[in-house]
Structure 1
């Protein structure tokens, strides 16, 4: 796992974890890395400083939450996170079709041109999502569990 400090075209700074540097590059090229604040997919790596601290200085100086972060990169509050997640959920639900547990099958059909191109969301098992990514189908996990829709 690797953590990158990222910045969007609107100046929002945030951190995100990736499986590897190659995974970041692949997701970024596919437009699947988006700003945690505004949703922009025009994201680039920000300048990072390594978080290396000697054992001696670490024991001498207790760490407080966010003590090594500039104010622009402070941790968001729970209320801010909930507000952003609720806004994201509303945007996804308003602009995408819910396909439920058929997500992997429908995403593959859209990718192959066997179904009309459209934004979809739904549920997939981890192995199904991994297979889609390996096959070049652009997918990304949502930071919330979709509400199951019924007839």
Structure 2
């Protein structure tokens, strides 16, 4: 099987599979290939990048951009939390105590319910949600 990038007369580019180049030419000449976007049968091969296989000793692993983004986000969050103490569900009480000057200030992170977080914000406590969940130290192996 061969995959071709095709372009219709309306400049829509789409991909289609054929048994061979001759099969593509035959189907095109008989008007059997239509653009899936607009239905036009005036279709030609589009310019495509050559398919170059990986070296025999390497497996080709496509990069999922979502996984790469999450990995970068996790790395940035871990860097931001360096030197921060995980206080778990005591976060609201500890953050409030630091805000009121009842305990020394220090970087902390932990858990808070939506209601607790809203109350802290209403009281003027500077907090921010973390983009990814944090694994408590007791749950790490």
Q: TM-score, normalised by structure 1?
A: 0.46
- Structure 1 or 2, whichever has the larger Rg, is 2
TM-score (norm 2): 0.49
